[in-house]
Every structure is written in C-alpha cells, then in structure tokens.
Structure 1
C-alpha cells in the first residue's frame, strides 16, 4: 500500500512540473548612458527613467552571467522599449510607472547584452521594484 501511495505521489509531482510555464526571454542592449550601476550596490542596475526612491523605483538585480549564446539573438534597445510602452508618459511629472513595468517584466526572463572590447557579456537579471 505504501508503495502505491509513493508511486502516485511521484506521478503527481511529475504532472505538476509539466504544467509549469516557461518564460519567454527578452534580450536588451546594455547602454551605460541609460542603465546605471552604483559602486555601493554593483549587482543592481537602475534605469535613467526610474521614478526615484520616494515613489518606489524599478531596477534589475543581477542573477548570473551566462555563457556566450550560440543562437543569433535579436537585441532590443531598453530605452526605446520603455519609451514606447504603456508604462511611460512623457507628459506626466512622474513619467514612468515603475510598478507597472515591474509587473509586466516579471513574467519574462531578462538578459542584458553588454558589449566589451572584443566580446559580448550576457547578464541574466531579474526585474525588481522597491520603496525605500
């Protein structure tokens, strides 16, 4: 009887794993004029359009550095993506809705593609929102 219960439980866990949705991946070009990393917190990447600490701010947290990608990738300019989104309104005082941007991007795997002198570095990041 115990063996039957263990088999059923293991099958149930396999079915649950099969139901997990894989996230799509977005590749953004790392633009050092638009993305800022501070010396005090080097694993946090803030975007220039962020609202600031009073209202809460959107940023990326470095998860890991990926090995070179063998697939040809289409990179998107992060600034153009943010400015063309429904989360950005240049006519408002607080132009970017940081929280809504975080809500949207948390459903994706995000990779920042940083070009160095002779190669590309792929930094997997997680979107984050915090109020200080």
Structure 2
C-alpha cells in the first residue's frame, strides 16, 4: 500500500520537529546577577563611572567574576506552569561551566553556549510573567579600567606550551611576537602571542608542557575542511582566560617565556 505523498511529508516534518524539540528551563530574576534592559530600563544611558560603581556592588553581592546579561524577545508570556524555578546563578556558577583548570572561576562562554543556550528553551520568571530572551550571554567584570591601569582577572590557571620553532615560531618581522602556521593572515586578522618577560629556571619535570599544534588542532577553533582553518580571534579570547608560558628546552635549564594572546587586523 502506497502512502500519499502529503502523508509522507507530514510524517517527516513531525519526526524532524520532534528531533529538534528542546526541554525548557525556568530561572528566577536575580537583580544582582541577571541584568537586562527588559527588566531595568535605560541601562545604556549609564556612564562608565556609574557602571563601575554598580558592577562593584554586584560583584560584592554575588561573589562572582561576572553576570548574565539578556534581552527579552519583546513578548511577555503568561499562564505557564513551571514545575521548578531555578537559580541561574547556582546553575551557572559551578565547575561544569568553568574553563578547564583547578583554580579559576572563569565561565567558558563556549561551554555555556553548548550546554545551556543552544540546548534549552529558557524563560525568566518575573512575577506572573515569563520572559524568553532573544539574546543571552555571560558578561565578565574583567578587564577593569582603573585610572590608567587595566586590571585583568587575577585568578587563572597556567598553561605551558613547547616552543617548537616549527608550528609555533617567533615572527621574523616583529621580535617578541610568536605566530602559528595556521594564522589566518592580515585580511582575516591574525592570532599571535606577545612576549611579556623571559626567565630561566632549572628543569621542572612536574610541569605539564603541551604541544601547541596539537592543542589548536583539537580545539573547537580549528577546522581543516575550511578555507580559513583557524578562528584567530576566538582562540585569542579563549586563551586570555589563562596565564601562558612558552618553554624552550635546554639540558639543564628551561627558558620560560611569559606571553599573552593577541589578535590584530592589519
């Protein structure tokens, strides 16, 4: 027996819709942690000084390195009956969403995207109204501008990479800058590591020194099937969450070059 074509199409559409269905999470509004122009109007009118003052108060209250910023989709929903309303601060501020490491409390925005914003339908509960965000991101308090200084997050894990002078090497034209074979070039913008200071110490076999090429090629920022294989800016943003050293091996001592990640478009 042959099914009508329209029945087959509807069946396929139903299966596709079911496969794409997402579970729903409901979060309560936390005035110190969930910041939104949908809840608090005229946020964009604050001066930088006002923003710093409010952010300092929020940070003292939440004891976190950042907060959730969201913008509603323009519609207020009523009549929903959530079984459970969660604290988004408690949901996010656990090690599941932190950058890999033992010490930092820095939210990995890519983990957040994979395991929250792309995975669930989200509503914020405001009284008897439900706000579905069209834009949601984790906003770090860092870097903080203080007078003429820039203060970065002081608590970071440290990564060590071998300076192999093959995949990762010092620029011929810009001494103290280290580039990779996969850097995308001036038209797309280039990832590089900038030297801060160099020190020599006796070889420490307890330090895990990783291969930078292997690290990059196994990351989400590299796709060999694409013309622009490396997402230079995203790699730079990700590595900014760590203290970085390049290691030159010698028989008795190692040379440790402290660097920071950068991205530039020429």
Same structural fold, with TM-score higher than 0.5 when normalized by the shorter chain: yes
State the 1:59 CA deviation: 0.1
Structure 2: gaps of 5 or more residues: 1-59, 66-152
Q: CA deviation at 1:70?
A: 7.1
Which 5+ residue runs of structure 1 have no aligned equivalent? 1-15
> How many residues matched?
116
2-side partners of 1:49 and 1:121: how far apart?
25
Asked if 1:103 is matched to 2:247, the reply is no
Question: How far has the Cα of 1:108 moved from its partner?
Answer: 0.5
Could you state the TM-score of these two structures normalised by the residue count of structure 2?
Answer: 0.41
What SS does the aligned partner of 2:238 have? helix
Q: Are positions 1:68 and 2:68 aligned together? A: no
Counterpart of 1:9 in structure 2 is none
Distance 1:116 1:69, change over 3 A: closer
1:33 aligned counterpart, secondary structure: coil
CA distance in 2, matches of 1:64, 1:44: 12
1:94 aligns with 228
Report what 2:178 is aligned to: 45
CA shift for structure 1 position 116: 3.5
Q: Is residue 131 of structure 1 aligned with residue 265 of structure 2?
A: yes
Moved over 6 A (4+): none
Counterpart selection for 2:189 from 56, 59, 64: 56
1:75-90 equivalent positions in 2, closer than 5 A? 75-90=209-224
Where 1:68 maps in the other structure, the secondary structure is strand
Per the normalisation by structure 1, the TM-score is 0.79
